[in-house]
Amino acid sequence: MNSPLPFERPVYVSRPALPPLTEYVRRLESIWASNILTNMGPMHEMLELGVGERVGAGRVSLWNNGMSALLAAVSSLQLQRRKVVVTPFTFPATVHAISLLGLEPVFVDIDDDSLTIDPSLIEEALDPEVGAILGTHVYGRFCDTRAIDAIAREHDLRVVYDGAHIFGRYAPVVTDEPHRLGDITMLSFHATKLFHTVEGGALITADQETDRQLRLIRNFGIVNEHDVKGLGLNGKMSEVHAAMGLSMLDMMDAEIDQRVGVASRYVEALSGIPGLRIVAGGDGTVQYFVLRIDADQFGSSRDDLHNTLRSLNVISRKYFSPLCSDVEPYNTLPSAQNLPVARKAAEEVLALPLYGGLSLEDADRIAEIVSWHQKGGIL
Ligand SMILES: Cc1ncc(COP(=O)(O)O)c(C=O)c1O
């Protein structure tokens, strides 16, 4: 068995899509003409409308990144109880948004299929100090929002979703089913995402008063030139970032189509390999393309596959690993000790490169490396 040739340059797990420079410069010229750089200027307002149309439900506010948006979302709940139920299978930002506010995360294990927080385990984690649930829509796949909504109603809990991955293929991303949004849903527009503003994010809420509160928090709590009300931060998205978002919105469907092409190529080449399951990307979500490797059936571990890919210049990513519950300062919490489903998932998941600019030939080469490795190929 000949070993595959390494890629000449590293192929990263994602590569930001960029609009034609002339398009972006045209928008920059308009910023130069207006001399308005931030504080909810014209680009910001246009993008807020554009994202809102695409989301298709609730009220959308733009933020300077997903993390500050999530922090603001949790802080806007003004929880009287000091604990928040959260998934361990997420990006650190999700859990930090609880802890930075002086609240305590309570980890609840995930569902083995969706990899999102398991609603059937939430109730046993509740005590009188739990005031909210924070779930992550992993890889663009929704949590069981209907079940979570039912638990929240019964126990008088607030619900926030980290939807960093959901602004993608499905428009409207949030349907008019009210349970989909929780109280507030966050989106990330980081450069690694399908749609980006370089750095950026958004919050969606169906409630007018919550939206008003969030907008106050976004601007230091400033109501008007005479009045400041409550705590706030600087969460504003600049005009330069909003201009990038407008240019990206124009090409979002093309980016999605290209990703669907790449993902179907992977699906074709990787289906049927023993011990390999496609857990995201094959179903059209195309934010990430994620494999799950069962070491016994596959014949080697996820880490071995990751290393082989890396030696051939393919930089796959163990996303999400380590678990948030396994790192400081969270690993000493009682709720961090027994999360077998999440731990296994963190040992088995591997995200392959997926972005519009990845050629189908390169996707084929990457899939061939996976298949060659599974057959016992050694470099
Ligand atoms: C699940 C999740 N939550 C939160 C974030 C943080 O978003 P941002 O980078 O926009 O601050 C990310 C970023 O990748 C993420 O994947």
Q: Are residues 82 and 216 in the same domain?
A: yes
Among 213, 246, 279, give the residue marking a domain's end: 246
User: How many domains would you assign to the chain?
Assistant: 2
Ligand 1 site-directed mutation target among 13, 188, 203, 288, most atoms within 8 Å of CB: 188
Q: Are residues 212 and 275 in the same domain?
A: no
Q: Are residues 63 and 195 in the same domain?
A: yes
The radius of gyration of the chain from alpha carbons, rounded to an integer in Å, stands at 21
CA of 33 to the centre of ligand 1 (A): 33
Tell me if 227 is assigned to some domain.
yes
Q: Are residues 262 and 182 in the same domain?
A: no
Percentage, residues of the chain above pLDDT 90:
92
Q: Are residues 147 and 271 in the same domain?
A: no
- Give the pLDDT mean for 241-255: 96
Identify the CATH number of the domain in which residue 58 sits.
3.40.640.10
Among 206, 225, 246, give the residue marking a domain's end: 246
| Pocket of ligand 1 contains residue 67 by CB under 6 Å | yes
Q: Are residues 132 and 101 in the same domain?
A: yes
Tell me if 196 is assigned to some domain.
yes
| Residue 177 CB-density burial (10 A; 0-12 exposed, 13-18 middle, 19+ buried) | exposed
| Pocket of ligand 1 contains residue 197 by CB under 6 Å | no
* pLDDT given for residue 266 in this prediction: 98
Pinpoint the alpha helices (H) of the chain: 21-34, 42-55, 66-76, 92-99, 119-125, 145-155, 208-218, 239-270, 295-298, 302-311, 340-348, 360-374
Give backbone dihedrals phi and psi of 236, rounded to 5 degrees, phi first: -75, 140
Residue 323: in which H helix or E strand, if any?
none
Tell me if 13 is assigned to some domain.
no
Tell me if 6 is assigned to some domain.
no
115 in Cβ contact with 135 (< 8 Å): no
| Pocket of ligand 1 contains residue 66 by CB under 6 Å | yes
DSSP state of 100: T
Percentage, residues of the chain above pLDDT 70:
98
Tell me if 159 is assigned to some domain.
yes
Instruction: Tell me how far apart the alpha carbons of residues 155 and 168 are, in angstroms, rounded to a whole number.
Output: 32
Which ligand 1 atom is the nearest neighbour of the CA of 138?
Answer: 1
182: left (phi over 0), alpha (psi -120 to 50) or beta: left
Could you tell me whether strands 158-162 and 130-136 are parallel, antiparallel, or unpaired per DSSP bridges?
parallel
Which ligand 1 atom is the nearest neighbour of the CA of 193?
Answer: 14
Residue 158: in which H helix or E strand, if any?
strand 158-162
368 in Cβ contact with 270 (< 8 Å): no
189 in Cβ contact with 165 (< 8 Å): no
Tell me if 308 is assigned to some domain.
yes
171 has a pLDDT exceeding 60? no
Instruction: Tell me how far apart the alpha carbons of residues 102 and 45 are, in angstroms, rounded to a whole number.
Output: 33
If we measure between CA atoms, which residue out of 205, 203, 193 comes closest to residue 356?
193
Q: Are residues 166 and 263 in the same domain?
A: no
18: left (phi over 0), alpha (psi -120 to 50) or beta: beta
- Give the pLDDT mean for 353-362: 97
Tell me if 25 is assigned to some domain.
yes
Identify the CATH number of the domain in which residue 265 sits.
3.90.1150.10
More confident residue, 85 or 2: 85
Residue 292: in which H helix or E strand, if any?
strand 289-293
Instruction: Tell me how far apart the alpha carbons of residues 12 and 241 are, in angstroms, rounded to a whole number.
Output: 23
What b/e string do you get for 113-131 counting C-beta neighbours within 10 Å, with b at 16 or more?
ebbbbbbeebeebbeeebb
Q: Are residues 207 and 352 in the same domain?
A: no
CA of 164 to the centre of ligand 1 (A): 5
If we measure between CA atoms, which residue out of 268, 299, 294, 267 comes closest to residue 283?
267
* pLDDT given for residue 269 in this prediction: 97
Per residue in 296-314, pLDDT tens? Answer: 999 999 999 999 999 999 9
1 has a pLDDT exceeding 70? no
203 in Cβ contact with 185 (< 8 Å): yes
Among 191, 214, 246, give the residue marking a domain's end: 246
Which of the four pLDDT bands, split at 50, 70 and 90, describes residue 174?
low
Q: Are residues 136 and 198 in the same domain?
A: yes
316 in Cβ contact with 310 (< 8 Å): yes
| Pocket of ligand 1 contains residue 190 by CB under 6 Å | yes
CA of 281 to the centre of ligand 1 (A): 18
116 has a pLDDT exceeding 70? yes
More confident residue, 282 or 67: 67
| Pocket of ligand 1 contains residue 210 by CB under 6 Å | no
Which of the four pLDDT bands, split at 50, 70 and 90, describes residue 173?
low
| Residue 376 CB-density burial (10 A; 0-12 exposed, 13-18 middle, 19+ buried) | exposed
CA of 250 to the centre of ligand 1 (A): 23
Domain that holds residue 346: 252-374
Q: Are residues 188 and 42 in the same domain?
A: yes
Per residue in 186-237, pLDDT tens? Answer: 999 999 999 999 999 999 999 999 999 999 999 999 999 999 999 999 999 9
Q: Are residues 210 and 340 in the same domain?
A: no
Please report the DSSP string for 69-86 in residue order. Answer: HHHHHHHHT--SS-EEEE
| Pocket of ligand 1 contains residue 235 by CB under 6 Å | no
Q: Are residues 88 and 202 in the same domain?
A: yes
Tell me if 35 is assigned to some domain.
yes
What's 217-246 look like in SS3?
HHECCEEECCEECCCCCECCCCHHHHHHHH
If we measure between CA atoms, which residue out of 190, 263, 27, 49 comes closest to residue 255?
263
List Cα–Cα distances, 98 to 22, 88, 183, in angstroms.
Answer: 41, 13, 16
Instruction: Tell me how far apart the alpha carbons of residues 117 and 24 are, in angstroms, rounded to a whole number.
Output: 39
